[in-house]
């Protein structure tokens, strides 16, 4: 075995990897440089600098790609999955580092550390009166996202004498109260009560600009905002305006919407802010921990074992995975699709297999569906931890192997229920093409696509023309494919493959058309054609 380690990863991994193969340490490389040598290696270990592209993956004979860190944006997961290459990371290795950096930002902001330092070092002044801070004791800390990092921040904050409030639709009252916190289901009520806000959530459609001009107005006057999770969660222009107007007391950011374009950060010339260059995971200990963790997983896989934090391929025995492997990505995307249709928390799902699929072990497909559902809401979900996350967030699931007659060789259906909503989707692979075969009451045969518009509407003339006018004439968005299916009660369903992401202002324009009922824009990972 040969293992390539790049991106200046700590050499402490050498002894671990040397137990299973020959290890080469090389500097970061671009695509052309890496393609010249990648076919010589069985495993690749990187950080964020090296981009592991589809071209690199297709030319390789890799068995595993290890990312020494959390994010895997620099690795083409789809290409790796299609070639059967495990991609793994280290989701826990930087928990303490990220939590401590969050706390450091809170302290720096509260006690005016940065401007006080600059006053002495740069201005040569001794000016105590200009930098009077305040105490954290007795203040209320609001945590958005109560995962590993959020919990650790909360633990330290309570020991400092702070009160703890949590907003996380995927946590629970019981979990939060066990950490001495108060659980909020309503964002507006949560925003009104906190003195500090810290964010520990992924960037999704729901969290993008969740802190904006409107939500900032709801916050207490003088509140402080800290973000060391993902850029784009906060509308930085709106935040600057709120600070300049003295409604928000200040902000500390480690992540930005357009990093690393420092010249265009809106808050750079704003007072009462602390800005750091994405240092959340930048500690010696964290970088060592993630390197060792990933090295151990690479060693395990090359020895014929499993990767505990596999991102794209489940740690399941081959005899379970092999019979249903062609349906894994389809099942994952079907779960993600129905999660985006639902506008409230999913409480229960029922998975139904028909045809020849009903005769197979469905455990891998269960996990793929859960991962797809959770991917829409939670960061760092993989095939290993998806069942655990589902349990933690109160999603109950049942799988049925049905012998009922079926019009297709294989049919996989998901029924999802929330407190007030219920939706269903059925999918299958027809002539090697992943298709949606039914959504709720509507039978269809629509190729599963990356960008899909779902438009329920009254079955009346000119509906297609009105939608086409908004998309094509007003916004130059091409319709690649259209399917219209009649349902019950005079309603029909229009499904459009638009081939590109959709601005939600456009979706709102479509929703205003008379006869349109609750249109949805669905964004999925693209699927290749698959032969059964």
501 and 526 in contact (C-beta within 8 Å)? Answer: no
How many other C-beta atoms are found inside a 10 Å radius of the C-beta of residue 431?
Answer: 8
Residue tagged active-site, from 278, 296, 308, 363? 278
Residue 124, CB half-sphere, CA atoms under 13 Å: how many? 0
Q: Is 243 exposed, middle or buried (0-12, 13-18, 19+ CB in 10 A)?
A: buried
> In whole angstroms, how far apart are CA 145 and each of 169, 279, 402?
8, 19, 38
Query: Token pair for residue 4?
Result: 């390539």
Residue tagged active-site, from 47, 101, 179, 230? 230
Q: Are strands 64-67 and 86-88 parallel, antiparallel or unpaired?
A: parallel
Active site residue 111: no
Residue tagged active-site, from 31, 58, 259, 296? 259
**Cβ neighbours of residue 203 closer than 8 Å, sequence gap 6 or more:** 230, 231, 232, 233
Active site residue 379: no
d(CA 191, CA 183): 12
Backbone angles phi, psi at 90, to 5 degrees: -130, 85
Torsion angle (degrees, nearest 10) of CA 67, 68, 71, 72: -10
How many other C-beta atoms are found inside a 10 Å radius of the C-beta of residue 478?
Answer: 10
Active site residue 500: no
**Which residues are the active-site residues?**
230, 259, 278
């Amino acid at each position: 075995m040969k293992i390539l380690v790049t991106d200046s990863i700590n050499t402490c991994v050498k002894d671990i990897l040397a137990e299973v193969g020959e290890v080469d340490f090389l500097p970061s490389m671009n695509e052309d440089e890496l393609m010249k040598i990648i076919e010589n290696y069985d495993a690749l270990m990187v950080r964020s600098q090296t981009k592991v592209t589809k071209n690199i993956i297709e030319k390789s004979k890799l068995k595993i790609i290890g990312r020494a860190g959390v994010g895997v944006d620099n690795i083409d997961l789809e290409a790796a999955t299609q070639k059967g290459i495990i991609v793994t990371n280290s989701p826990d290795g930087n928990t303490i580092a990220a939590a401590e950096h969050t706390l450091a930002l809170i302290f720096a902001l509260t006690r005016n550390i940065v401007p006080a330092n600059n006053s002495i070092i740069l201005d040569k002044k001794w000016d105590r009166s200009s930098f009077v801070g305040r105490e954290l004791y007795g203040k209320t800390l609001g945590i958005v996202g109560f995962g590993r990092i959020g919990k650790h921040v909360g633990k330290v904050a309570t020991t400092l004498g702070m009160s703890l409030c949590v907003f996380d639709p995927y946590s629970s009252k019981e979990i939060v109260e066990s950490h001495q916190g108060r659980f909020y289901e309503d964002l507006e009520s949560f925003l009104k009560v906190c003195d500090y806000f810290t964010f520990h959530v992924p960037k999704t459609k729901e969290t993008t600009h969740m802190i904006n001009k409107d939500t900032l107005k709801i916050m207490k006057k003088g509140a402080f905002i800290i973000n060391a999770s993902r850029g784009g969660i906060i509308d930085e222009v709106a935040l600057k305006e709120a600070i300049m107007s003295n409604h928000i007391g200040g902000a500390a950011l480690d992540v930005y919407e357009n990093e690393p374009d420092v010249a265009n950060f809106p808050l750079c010339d704003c007072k009462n802010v602390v800005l750091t260059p994405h240092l959340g995971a930048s500690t010696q200990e964290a970088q060592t921990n993630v390197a060792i963790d990933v090295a151990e997983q690479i060693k395990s896989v090359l020895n014929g074992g499993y990767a505990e934090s596999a991102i794209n391929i489940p740690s399941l025995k081959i005899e379970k995975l092999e019979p249903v492997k062609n349906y894994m990505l389809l099942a994952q995307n079907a779960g993600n699709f129905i999660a985006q249709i639902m506008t409230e928390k999913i409480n229960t799902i029922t998975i139904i297999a028909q045809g020849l699929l009903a005769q197979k072990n469905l455990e891998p497909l269960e996990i793929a569906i859960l991962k797809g559902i959770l991917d829409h809401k939670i960061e760092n979900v993989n095939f290993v931890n998806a069942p655990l996350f589902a349990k933690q967030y109160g999603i109950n699931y049942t799988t049925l192997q049905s012998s009922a007659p079926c019009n297709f060789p294989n049919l996989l259906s998901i029924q999802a229920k929330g407190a007030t909503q219920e939706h269903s989707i059925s999918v299958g692979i027809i002539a090697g093409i992943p298709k949606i075969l039914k959504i709720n009451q509507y039978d269809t045969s629509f190729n599963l696509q990356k960008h899909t518009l779902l438009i329920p509407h009254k079955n009346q003339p000119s509906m297609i023309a009105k939608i086409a006018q908004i998309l094509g004439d007003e916004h130059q968005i091409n319709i690649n494919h259209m399917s219209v299916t009649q349902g019950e009660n005079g309603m029909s369903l229009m499904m459009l493959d638009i081939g590109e992401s959709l601005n939600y202002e456009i979706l709102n324009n479509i929703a205003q058309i008379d006869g349109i009922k609750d249109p949805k824009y669905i964004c999925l990972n693209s699927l290749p054609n698959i032969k059964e």
